[in-house]
Structure formats: structure tokens, C-alpha cells
């Protein structure tokens, strides 16, 4: 079999890239290790930058998003039992949309199916070959048989634990990493949210986040130990801990109910450079991780897919290598700014056990600055709604 592009991974990065390439008439196949149902069962974040929404609209995949997504024009920072509203629209003229990543994934998968573009699910032992030359190959096993695809380009969109980045010699990559000494325990429940906007709350017991998927479905998180076991948390324990960390009004407004999902996620910042090795390109979590505090993971994956699709269009349609030569630089310039923002939000809002008294005062001073300076709030808003592509 021969294809122009083999995409590894059917998360937001791979699906978005596949859709953009398909629109440009570039033939591609997605190889995904898991089943469709497994991928759609993963609960991930839920805040879309307006650039991500624009990308989905331009692809004609935003029908459900436009009908069901919730436009949010602000969110709150909680600290010292106070709440400070960050007006997103006042500072930027833009807003974000609350719509689950799982739903974005479903919409992209459905559109791909309808367009007749191929995805191979449950592709095992995916292996990359010869990407340092003009005719790379990808092999995989499916239904007990080994398959081989010869292609022009491989896109590694297979997440942090994928095979693409692992296929590179260590000497080809420079990596940058910060592992945070805590995790987030998340709960999804069919209860109305405690506030119509998100609340990111700093508290001496640890950070808490009040988010939502719809007017009747809430997503809440509390900072926990990195090795915390979700099973150790009864629903009651979770609700009690959440309420302790919120201001009295928010705490009183929390409606509790049985959890429908409960899981612990680690927090990490990570970047691998560069994003191109011959005919292999990395995009999304395969190349970088942000802690979820800035809600940037999915949006960064969309940005990478946009840059890479543009570069590949130049390569296949205009026969120019200028775009692919510049992909890594262009994407990394935006990635590092989102890394900075996510690290800053994480540092501001979490409880760190070993902060010096000076560092604690720095957290307080950041809040005081945000409280007193419309320009500081506008800078936060500008990053939160998403920097331009
Ligand atoms: N072979 C084939 N597929 C693989 C392999 C492999 N060896 N390893 C991983 N995959 C698949 C995973 O099963 C997953 O479906 O690659 C996909 C990667 O998807 P994501 O992890 O969602 O990564 P990405 O598309 O870059 O999206 C980034 O997703 O992880 C969240 O918070 C993150 O919001 C961010 C977004
Ligand atoms: C979520 O709704 O899951 C969510 C929202 C905002 C974040 C992280 C996660 O910053």
C-alpha cells in the first residue's frame, strides 16, 4: 500500500491534521493503537480557544459545537476566600468555548468516516522505518497479519507515550521537562455547575477547579498527591474537600451527586525539540505536554496540526520544502509561549510544600497585581483565549 501521509494516533492532533490534509486533497491514513470506543471513553479537558473553534468551523465540523458549546467570556480566580473575575472579552474582544475534548474527537471521527477517509483502529506494533530518506515506511500488525505502508511523510501524533518520538535516536532530540510534585483528582458528575463560569481556586489545602461540560454536567478537580489513588476517594470525601477549598458562596452552590468518572492525572511540562527529522514530524502531546491549568493541551495540538497541514500542503501541492523546513521553528515559537503560560498558572495557583516564605509572598504579590491592574488581567486573558497562529 502507498499513501502520501501516514498519521500515527487518532487523538485531536492526528484527527485535526487528517481533516486539514483531506481538505487539501492530500491522501492520508490514521493508525490508532486503541479502539474507537476506547479513544472516545477518555475524559479530557474542555476549553477551546477561539482559534481552535475557527479551525473546526473552517473544516465544516462545528455544527454540534456551535449548537452545544458554551461561550465563556470570563472566569474567576479564587484566593484568600475572595474571587477575582478575569474578563476575557474586555481585554481581548474574544472568548473561549466550553466543549469537551471527547466531543471534538467524536465530531472529527464522524466527519472522517463520512468523508471516507481511512482509520485503522487496534493497529498493533506500529513501527517507523526509513524516515531519514524520501520513502519512509510504517509497519503494523492487525488481525494477526503484518501490514506495510510506504509513504512520503509520517506524522507522529501519538501522544506522550507514543512510538514516534521513541523511534528517534536520543542524540537527535533535546528535551525540556518539569514534573510537578502533585496531581489532579478529577470528578465528572451529572449535577449543575456551582457557577456559570469556571473557578480556578488557590487554597492552603491545595488548588481546586470548578469546570463544566454542560448546564447539567460538572467537572471538578482538586490538587492531590502525585501518587494518589482515585479509589481512596469516596464521592463524599471528594465533595467535602472541594468545598473546603472554595469561597463560601461557591462552596454553598456546589450540588453533589454520584460521580460518573473519577481519575488522577499527573502534572508535567515537557518539550522535545526539534519537531522534524527528515520525513517524520511530531505534533501534539507526542512533542510537548502542558499541565492542564491553562487549558492549553488540546489547543496546542490544534495549532500544531494547522502549521503542519500548511507546510505539507506547500510540500505536496506547490512542491516546495520551505514550509516543512520551517514547521518546527514556527510551531515551537507558539508552543513555548503556551508552556510559559501553563507553568505560570500552575505556579500561581497550586500549593507547593517546599516554597520559601519569599516564594509564598511572590504568589500573593501576583494575585495583588492581578487585582489592581487591568493590564495584568488583560495579559492573562490574552494568553487564556489563545495567542494567534
Ligand atoms: N500506535 C498507534 N497509536 C498510538 C500509539 C502507537 N504506538 N501510541 C499512542 N497512540 C494513540 C493513542 O491511543 C491516542 O489515541 O495516539 C493517540 C494520541 O492522542 P492524544 O494523547 O489525545 O494526543 P494528541 O492528539 O496530541 O492530543 C493532545 O490530548 O492528551 C490530551 O491533554 C492532551 O489535550 C491534549 C490533547
Ligand atoms: C476541564 O473542564 O476538564 C478543564 C477546564 C479547564 C482547565 C482544565 C480542565 O484548565
Condensed to tens digits (0 to 9), the pLDDT of residues 196-236 reads: 999 999 999 999 999 999 999 999 999 999 999 999 999 99
* CATH numeric code, 181-265+352-385: 3.30.9.10
Tell me how far apart the alpha carbons of residues 62 and 176 are, in angstroms, rounded to a whole number: 35
Ligand 2 contacts CB of residue 292 (under 6 A): yes
Alpha helices for 97-216 (secondary structure H): 101-114
What pLDDT does 146 receive? 98
> Helix (H, G, I), strand (E, B), or coil: what is residue 275?
coil
> Helix (H, G, I), strand (E, B), or coil: what is residue 179?
strand
Question: Do 277 and 168 meet the contact criterion of CB atoms below 8 Å apart?
Answer: yes
> Helix (H, G, I), strand (E, B), or coil: what is residue 219?
strand
Q: What is the separation, in whole angstroms, between the first and last Cα of the chain?
A: 35
Ligand 2 contacts CB of residue 211 (under 6 A): yes
Tell me how far apart the alpha carbons of residues 281 and 74 are, in angstroms, rounded to a whole number: 36
- Residues with a catalytic annotation lie at 72, 200, 292, 296, 384
The answer on pLDDT for 329 being more than 90 is yes
Substitution site in 285, 286, 308, 346 for ligand 1 pocket (most atoms within 8 Å of beta carbon): 285
DSSP one-letter code for 317? T
| Sheet hosting strand 47-48, strand order edge to edge | 47-48, 96-98, 70-72
What pLDDT does 114 receive? 97
C-alpha cell at 201: 481556586
Question: Do 332 and 344 meet the contact criterion of CB atoms below 8 Å apart?
Answer: no
pTM over 0.95: yes
What pLDDT does 323 receive? 98
Q: What are the two backbone dihedrals, phi and then psi, of residue 275, each rounded to the nearest 5 degrees?
A: -105, 0
Ligand 2 contacts CB of residue 187 (under 6 A): no
Work out the pLDDT band at 80, boundaries 50, 70, 90: confident
Q: How far is the CA of 329 from the centre of ligand 2 (A)?
A: 28
DSSP string, 52-115: HHHHHHHTT--HHHHHH-EEE-EEEEEETTEEEEEEHHHHHS--EEE--HHHHHHHHHHHHHHT
Looking at the chain, the whole-number percentage of residues with pLDDT higher than 70 is 100
Question: Do 74 and 65 meet the contact criterion of CB atoms below 8 Å apart?
Answer: no
What pLDDT does 189 receive? 98
Q: What is the pLDDT of residues 257-274, one digit of tens each?
A: 999 999 999 999 999 999
The mean pLDDT of 288-310, rounded to a whole number, is 98
What CATH topology corresponds to 2-73+94-177+267-349?
FAD/NAD(P)-binding domain (3.50.50)
Ligand 2 contacts CB of residue 297 (under 6 A): no
DSSP one-letter code for 33? S
Continuous segment of H or E residues that includes residue 149: strand 145-156
274 prior amide bond cis, ω within 30: yes
Domain borders along the chain are 2-73+94-177+267-349, 181-265+352-385
Substitution site in 97, 219, 267, 383 for ligand 2 pocket (most atoms within 8 Å of beta carbon): 219
What pLDDT does 43 receive? 86
The mean pLDDT of 48-61, rounded to a whole number, is 97
Tell me how far apart the alpha carbons of residues 121 and 104 are, in angstroms, rounded to a whole number: 18
Q: Is 296 exposed, middle or buried (0-12, 13-18, 19+ CB in 10 A)?
A: buried
Question: Do 106 and 19 meet the contact criterion of CB atoms below 8 Å apart?
Answer: no
Tell me how far apart the alpha carbons of residues 186 and 222 are, in angstroms, rounded to a whole number: 7
Ligand 2 contacts CB of residue 342 (under 6 A): no
The answer on pLDDT for 299 being more than 90 is yes
What pLDDT does 81 receive? 82
Q: What is the pLDDT of residues 97-152, one digit of tens each?
A: 999 999 999 999 999 999 999 999 999 999 999 999 999 999 999 999 999 999 99
Ligand in nearest proximity to the CA of 124: 1
Work out the pLDDT band at 91, boundaries 50, 70, 90: confident
C-alpha cell at 60: 465544516
The answer on pLDDT for 29 being more than 90 is yes
Cell 481519575 sits on residue: 263
Question: Do 259 and 235 meet the contact criterion of CB atoms below 8 Å apart?
Answer: yes
Amino acid at each position: 500500500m502507498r499513501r502520501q501521509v501516514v498519521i500515527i494516533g487518532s487523538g485531536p492532533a492526528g484527527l485535526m491534521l487528517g481533516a486539514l490534509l483531506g481538505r487539501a486533497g492530500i491522501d492520508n491514513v490514521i493508525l490508532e493503537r486503541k479502539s474507537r470506543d476506547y479513544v472516545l471513553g477518555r475524559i479530557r479537558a474542555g476549553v477551546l480557544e477561539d482559534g481552535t473553534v475557527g479551525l473546526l468551523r473552517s473544516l465544516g465540523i462545528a455544527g454540534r459545537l456551535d449548537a452545544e458549546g458554551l461561550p465563556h467570556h470570563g472566569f474567576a480566580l479564587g484566593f484568600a476566600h475572595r474571587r477575582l473575575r478575569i474578563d476575557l472579552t474586555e481585554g481581548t474582544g474574544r472568548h473561549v468555548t466550553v466543549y469537551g475534548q471527547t466531543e471534538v474527537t467524536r465530531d472529527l471521527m464522524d466527519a472522517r468516516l463520512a468523508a471516507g477517509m481511512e482509520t485503522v483502529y487496534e493497529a498493533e506494533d506500529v513501527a517507523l522505518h526509513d524516515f531519514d530518506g524520501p520513502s519512509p515506511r510504517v509497519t503494523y500488525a492487525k488481525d494477526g497479519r503484518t501490514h506495510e505502508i510506504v509513504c512520503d511523510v509520517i506524522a507522529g501524533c501519538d501522544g506522550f507515550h507514543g512510538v514516534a518520538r521513541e523511534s528517534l535516536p536520543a542524540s537527535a532530540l533535546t528535551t525540556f521537562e518539569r514534573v510537578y510534585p502533585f496531581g489532579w483528582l478529577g470528578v465528572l458528575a451529572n449535577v449543575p455547575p456551582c457557577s456559570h463560569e469556571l473557578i480556578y481556586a488557590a487554597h492552603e489545602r491545595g488548588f481546586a477547579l470548578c469546570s463544566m461540560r454542560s448546564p447539567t454536567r460538572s467537572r471538578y478537580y482538586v490538587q492531590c498527591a502525585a501518587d494518589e489513588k482515585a479509589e481512596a476517594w469516596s464521592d463524599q470525601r471528594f465533595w467535602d474537600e472541594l468545598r473546603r477549598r472554595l469561597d463560601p458562596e461557591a462552596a454553598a452552590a456546589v450540588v453533589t451527586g454520584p460521580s460518573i468518572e473519577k481519575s488522577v492525572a499527573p502534572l508535567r511540562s515537557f518539550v522535545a525539540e526539534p519537531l522534524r527529522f527528515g520525513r517524520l514530524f511530531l505534533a501534539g502531546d507526542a512533542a510537548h505536554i502542558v499541565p492542564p491549568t491553562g487549558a492549553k493541551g488540546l489547543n496546542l495540538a490544534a495549532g500544531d496540526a494547522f502549521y503542519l497541514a500548511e507546510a505539507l500542503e506547500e510540500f505536496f501541492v506547490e512542491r516546495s520544502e520551505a514550509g516543512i523546513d520551517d514547521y518546527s521553528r514556527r510551531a515551537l515559537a507558539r508552543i513555548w509561549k503556551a508552556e510559559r503560560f501553563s507553568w505560570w498558572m500552575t505556579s500561581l495557583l497550586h500549593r507547593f510544600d517546599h516554597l520559601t516564605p519569599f516564594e509564598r509572598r511572590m504568589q500573593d504579590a501576583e494575585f495583588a497585581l492581578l487585582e489592581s491592574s487591568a493590564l495584568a488581567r488583560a495579559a492573562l486573558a490574552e494568553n487564556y483565549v489563545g495567542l494567534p497562529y
